[in-house]
Chains A and B, each alone.
Chain A
Amino acid sequence: MSRVLAIAVREVRSYFQDRADLVFGLALPIAVFALMYGAFSGGSLFNGTAYIVNEDPDGAYSRLLIERLDAKENLTVTLLSREEAEAKLSDSDILLVSIIPEEFSDRLSQSWSTQITFRQRGNGGMEGQIVAGMVRGEADALSQELQAERQVRLALAASGIGGEQATTTVQGLLQREKEAPIITVKETSIGGEASLVHQFMPGIVSMFVLFAVTLGSRAIVEERKKGTLERLLSTRVTVSELFAGKFVAGAARGFSQTVILLALAYAVFRLFTPVSFLLMLVVALVFSIAASALSLVIASVSRNDDQAVSISVVFTMATVMLGGTFFEIPEGSFLEAIGRASVNTYVNRAFATATTPGSGLTSVAYELVVLAGIAAVALVLSRSLFRAVQGGR
């Protein structure tokens, strides 16, 4: 046991002394977290720009519509001339422009219908479609207000109530409705809050821990390169002790990396409660153990650095993709079926569950058992493969 610990301590020390490994393992994920913070920390998930050509610049209603759009906190209004808009569309600088026609206010003031045009390249792009929806919604609201005002004015005309008073009353009622709407919308989500940080944080943490597989996979190759493998094999250390030392080192390295990332997530994004943070640490520990064991499987069959790195990269990218790190995998799909072979599927699910309020150890028990099983099988397999492939003890 003391030899196992000596090997593990040497490995971990070497890792923390190697600047390249540190950058790869710690600085890079921290940088990704910083980028995520910059991108998603504003509270709103969508920030778009409405490009508008206002051919009715002096019209009251066109100005009102633009003011209302500009007042939306996640929308910026940029006014363009018709020529500028055409040039930008032509160069694909923008994908959708809303054009307010010249007679917009005049026609509305006479209760005649009018039309806003969405001029777009292709389908207008995702942002363009969202912005178009917002413009359409605001135009509909304005239209309904004007219709209601007109109907009320017509209805009250016979009773001698002036149009101005009718307008003021209707505007007041509409304002009251806006402040206390009759219909409200409530969002509830399954498997954690529906923010991008919640959606992608587990995948990013697990992805970087899994990248530690690349480092672990070089464990035996590095010893061979230094000539220390044969030297070690001529001492009293057994191959099982050597593997156990590498395994403990890999798990410790992965776990310490995860703790740092989770602590950052805790501090920056306020994703966890203290209880869910502890649960995340348990998941991270079991996952680090599984990742370390998997790296030994690659280490046991690799004869040089190139082989170790190539196999690791293919393995990690495949498991990251199939684990749903970058996109949601639809339930019941073929991808979901083969995704069950990916270690990331279980750890991502466990991380996501752990951040859901009310989750406990039993909520992630299945995933933890699967990860522990993967670790056990990988450890046995790596030892057998080393004997078979390397022709050694």
Chain B
Amino acid sequence: MPDAFLVADDLHKSFNGHKAVNGVSFSIEKGEIFGLLGPNGAGKTTTIRILSTVLPPDRGDVTIGGHSVRRDADAVRRLIGVCPQELAFYPDMSALENLVFFGRMVGLDGGEAKAQAVTYLDLMGLSERTRGKVDKFSGGMKRRVNLAIALMGHPQLLFLDEPTVGIDPQSRNMIYETIERLRDGGMTVLYTTHYMEEADRLCSRVAIMDGGKVVALDTPRGLKHLIGRSEKATLEDVFLKLTGRGLRD
């Protein structure tokens, strides 16, 4: 695939003998929103941790923008932004201070970090609350701060790990629109979610993981064809057919 911006090749990762990721391979094209779906414990977050250089794989490799996470992790880190599943910021600091701080961490100088922080807080509809302490924010506002931090440094590849968990439809819709706008601006996005309609709306291709493996990978439409009644089928039907109805927690 000539335009592949991210190539994951046969990734393996075990914790105390448990194979969290077991031979995962896929690629993401530049400017694509790629969905990574799967039940709890499927290995999505571990995969993202490997892709974002936080965790070294036991086997296999990932290249992002032509750089290997194993051999050239620092170059990879210049290209990526990560919005983790949990709210990952300093609650005792203001939204602006959080963004400026993480801006400094991705290599921006003070002035550039502040300029980008103002831009992204505005993009997230938080320009009125830039000086407010984040722990006083509503759930939706916190989620938007979490996403805005990931945008600091204008990453070429954005990892979004369940960015809309526990927020109201308005905030969720705003996040969708922001992601689409970022995609239109050329940003590549890897998106994980438990909300199938989100993946259906946003993602050009979706990989479904289960038991540490990719069990299906196609466009949402292609995946619906898998269960043979694509007109009425939803991505959730596909998901349940492929991963089963048994509880995972």
Spell out A's residues near B (CB within 8 Å).
Answer: 2-3, 6, 10, 14, 17-18, 226-228, 230-237, 392-393
Tell me the complex Cα distance, A18–B135, Å: 14
Determine whether the beta carbon of B84 is less than 8 Å from that of A231: yes
Determine whether the beta carbon of B105 is less than 8 Å from that of A237: yes
Interface size on B, residues (CB 8 A): 28
Q: Which residues of A contact B56 (CB under 8 A)?
A: 393
Chain A nearest Cβ from B43, distance in angstroms: 16
Q: Which residues of B contact A392 (CB under 8 A)?
A: 54
A236-B107 contact in complex given A230-B49, A231-B84, A231-B102, C-beta closer than 8 Å: yes
Q: Is B197 an interface residue (CB 8 A)?
A: no
Determine whether the beta carbon of A17 is less than 8 Å from that of B92: yes
Determine whether the beta carbon of B101 is less than 8 Å from that of A10: yes
Smallest CB-CB A-B distances: 10 pairs: A227-B88, A227-B86, A235-B105, A234-B52, A231-B88, A6-B104, A234-B82, A237-B105, A236-B107, A235-B106
Chain A nearest Cβ from B171, distance in angstroms: 19
Determine whether the beta carbon of B104 is less than 8 Å from that of A3: yes
Residue of A14, A230, A237, A393 near B90 (CB, 8 A) is A14
Report the nearest B residue to A222, measured CB to CB.
Answer: B90
Determine whether the beta carbon of A18 is less than 8 Å from that of B92: yes
Q: Which residues of A contact B107 (CB under 8 A)?
A: 236
A226-B90 contact in complex given A233-B54, A234-B52, A236-B77, C-beta closer than 8 Å: yes
Report the nearest B residue to A225, measured CB to CB.
Answer: B86
A6-B105 contact in complex given A230-B54, A234-B77, A234-B80, C-beta closer than 8 Å: yes
Spell out B's residues near A (CB within 8 Å).
Answer: 49, 52-54, 56, 73-74, 77-78, 80, 82, 84, 86-93, 101-102, 104-107, 109, 149
What are 29 A-B pairs at a CB distance below 8 A? Answer: A2-B104, A2-B109, A3-B104, A6-B101, A6-B104, A10-B93, A10-B101, A14-B92, A17-B92, A226-B88, A226-B89, A227-B87, A230-B82, A231-B82, A231-B84, A231-B149, A232-B105, A234-B52, A234-B77, A234-B80, A234-B82, A235-B77, A235-B102, A235-B105, A236-B74, A236-B105, A236-B106, A393-B56, A393-B73
> Main SS of chain A's interface residues?
helix
Tell me the complex Cα distance, A312–B91, Å: 25
Further pairs besides A3-B105, A18-B92: 11, Cβ < 8 Å = A6-B101, A14-B90, A227-B87, A230-B82, A230-B84, A230-B88, A231-B89, A235-B105, A236-B74, A236-B106, A236-B107
Q: Which residues of A contact B90 (CB under 8 A)?
A: 10, 14, 226, 228
A228-B88 contact in complex given A234-B77, A236-B74, A236-B77, C-beta closer than 8 Å: yes
Tell me the complex Cα distance, A236–B90, Å: 18
Q: Which residues of B contact A14 (CB under 8 A)?
A: 90, 92-93
Residue of A6, A226, A230, A393 near B91 (CB, 8 A) is A226
Chain B nearest Cβ from A371, distance in angstroms: 31
Chain B nearest Cβ from A167, distance in angstroms: 81
Q: Which residues of A contact B149 (CB under 8 A)?
A: 231
